[in-house]
Structure 1
Amino acid sequence: MASTSGRTFHDPLVGPEVSDLPSGFFDRLMFNLHPADALAPSVIMGFGIYPAKDTADGFVVVSGESEQRNLRFSTLLSATNRDGAGPFRFEVVKPNELWRLHLGPNEIDAEFDLTWHARTPAWFGEVAVTNTSSERTSFDHLFQSGRYEGTLRVGDRRYDVDNWYGQRDRSRGVRTMSGGQGLHIWYQAQFPDFSIGFLLVETRAQERILLEGAVMHESGVLDPITDVRHALVFTPDLDLVEGDVAVETAAGERYVVHADGRARGGYMAGAGYGGHHGVSAGVDHIESDRYALDGSVSPRSLDSALTDRLCTFTLGDVRGSGIFEFASTRSSKYRYRPSL
């Protein structure tokens, strides 16, 4: 992984003028949205294009206290303006600084009209990983903390979104990280003055495949992360209960953060992460479902273990919140062992 923080990330999605892209090429965006002081609602949205497959698809996942609502949509890329699909639309108003996000009427009875403003600099770099398959992973990856304003409706409940937290993630390239993964963490802990963001992937033998990220400060300081250790507690169904993460940075700082993951929801199988992204379903395909958050679904029972859990974070006397994305392999040969 090579950091490219000295340059500006090309924020808009690639246009039709870009040709000769690899067959596995994608260009994707993801945003999350949540109050700074509450564990509901949690909204996660995403959209991606796959030019060689003439496919575009996306999702919206809304997790409340008792239910997760999932909306998935896809269409032909050639039938879009590359600004969304189904009821979801976005606009890059000012690259790396301001986006608009809109969700119209749909099957899960949730709508929003939002503006995301950057509150920290973005971390981005090139991720390059050699896989067990013949195709090499190589993609640009960005994450950045921001705040929202606008409106959100979920069923009969309407929210005035004022200064809510939200992390965004942009990735572009070819990603085929196949075989042998044990633990995946995408960690975005939001605190009043900074955000701790990293991606960590380990093998089933707990060897590190990938670590990238930074502590992103509202002051404009971007402090790259050099090491991460963890001590997490999972249920037998591979759901996160709580845990500590220790982060070390290039500036010599060390952050030991406790996460409480007992709030349910954020199961990304509902967003199509079980291998459904980039699979053509024709023009204007929309589907939806709902998960009762009563223990009847879990990372073990769904077609993907990937979970984006809205957690509370504690760093000394400072409290924060944010998304702790995790996935532990369901292989019977793997047992999680803490590294902290």
Structure 2
Amino acid sequence: MSTSTSQQFHDPLVGRETEGLPAGFFDRFMFNMHPVAGGAPSVIMGHGRYPLKDTVDGFVVVSTETEQRNLRYASKLSAAELDGAGPFRFEVVEPNQQWRLQLAPNEIGVEFDITWQARTPAWFGTVAVQNDSGTPTSFDHLFQSGFYTGTLSIDGQTRSVDGWYGQRDRSRGVRTMSGGQGLHIWYQAQFPEFAVGFLLVETRDHQRLLLEGAVMHTDGTLDPIVDVKHSLSFSDGLDLEEGTVEVTTAAGQTYRMQADARSGGGYMAGAGYGGHHGKDLGIDHVESDSFPLDGSVSPKTLDSALTDRLATFDLDGVPGSGIFEFALTRSSRYQYRPTL
């Protein structure tokens, strides 16, 4: 794995005309949005292009206190608008600094017109992993903390989201990491003066496969993360409940954060992460469904265990909030093992 922080990430998505792309190439972004104090609603949206397949798709996932609503859309890349597909539109107003995101009326009763503004520098680098399948993973990866302005409407009730937190993720390349993974964490904890962001992947025999990330300060400082330890509690349904994460940085700083992840929702199966991205579903395909948040749905019951849970954090009495993305393998041979 190699990382770089001295240049700007190429933020606009790769266009239809790009030639010489490797097999399996994708270009995707994801944003999430939530109140600074945490708590419902949690909104997650994403959009991806697959030029060699001539497809484009995306999703919006909204978790309230009682349910998760899922909207998925897809189209032919050659037929879609350059600024989105289905009811979703985006604009890169200023690369690495500002995006506008819009959701028109649709069947899940959620609309928004919001602007994401960076509040920290971005961490980005290139992830390279050899896989058992023989097809290597190699993709550019970015994450960055920001805040929102604009409005969100749920069932006709409109509210301002001015000042709400949001993390974004950009990835571009070939990502075929499948098989052999035991624990996956994409951790984005936002605090008033910095955000702690990293991606950690461990194998089923508890060896570290991947670690990337940094503490991103609002004063422009980036402090790369060099070690992560964790002690997490999961339900029988493989759902994260709470836990402690300790991060060590290149500058020698240690951050030990407590997380409460019992709010529910954020199941990324509703966003198509069970192997459905990039499929040819024709032109202007839109579908939706919902999950009750009553305990009947869990990472163990869905076609993907990946979960982007809105969590609250505590760092030596300083409150934070953000997305604690996690997934445990459902292999009977694996049992989670804390490292802290």
Same-fold status (TM-score > 0.5): yes
Counterparts of residues 231-310 of structure 1 (less than 5 Å)? 231-310=231-310
Match of residue 106 from structure 2: 106
TM-score (norm 2): 0.99
- Gaps in structure 2 of 5+ consecutive residues: none
Match of residue 319 from structure 2: 319
CA contact (8 A) 2:16 2:77 kept: no
Match of residue 210 from structure 1: 210
Q: 1:74: how far off?
A: 0.2
Q: Secondary structure at the match of 2:161?
A: strand
Between the aligned partners of 2:235 and 2:146, the Cα distance in structure 1 is 32
Counterparts of residues 324-339 of structure 1 (less than 5 Å)? 324-339=324-339
Between the aligned partners of 2:100 and 2:313, the Cα distance in structure 1 is 28
Between the aligned partners of 2:186 and 2:294, the Cα distance in structure 1 is 25
CA contact (8 A) 2:181 2:202 kept: yes
CA contact (8 A) 2:38 2:322 kept: no
Between the aligned partners of 1:188 and 1:314, the Cα distance in structure 2 is 13
CA contact (8 A) 1:30 1:44 kept: yes
Match of residue 147 from structure 1: 147
Between the aligned partners of 2:320 and 2:116, the Cα distance in structure 1 is 19
Q: Secondary structure at the match of 1:269?
A: helix
Q: 1:16: how far off?
A: 2.5
Aligned residues: 340
Letter in 1 for 2:282: G
Match of residue 41 from structure 1: 41
Letter in 2 for 1:267: Y
Match of residue 175 from structure 1: 175
Match of residue 192 from structure 1: 192
CA contact (8 A) 2:71 2:287 kept: yes
Letter in 1 for 2:153: R
- The sequence identity of aligned pairs, in percent, is 69
Between the aligned partners of 2:122 and 2:170, the Cα distance in structure 1 is 10
Letter in 2 for 1:324: F
Letter in 1 for 2:29: L
Q: Secondary structure at the match of 1:297?
A: coil
Deviation per residue, 1:73-123 (Å, 9 max, x gap): 000000123321100000000000000000000010000000000000000
Q: Secondary structure at the match of 2:82?
A: coil
CA contact (8 A) 1:121 1:144 kept: yes
CA contact (8 A) 1:23 1:53 kept: no
TM-score (norm 1): 0.99
Letter in 1 for 2:48: G
The RMSD of aligned alpha carbons is 0.7
Between the aligned partners of 1:297 and 1:30, the Cα distance in structure 2 is 23
- Gaps in structure 1 of 5+ consecutive residues: none
Letter in 2 for 1:232: L
Match of residue 115 from structure 2: 115
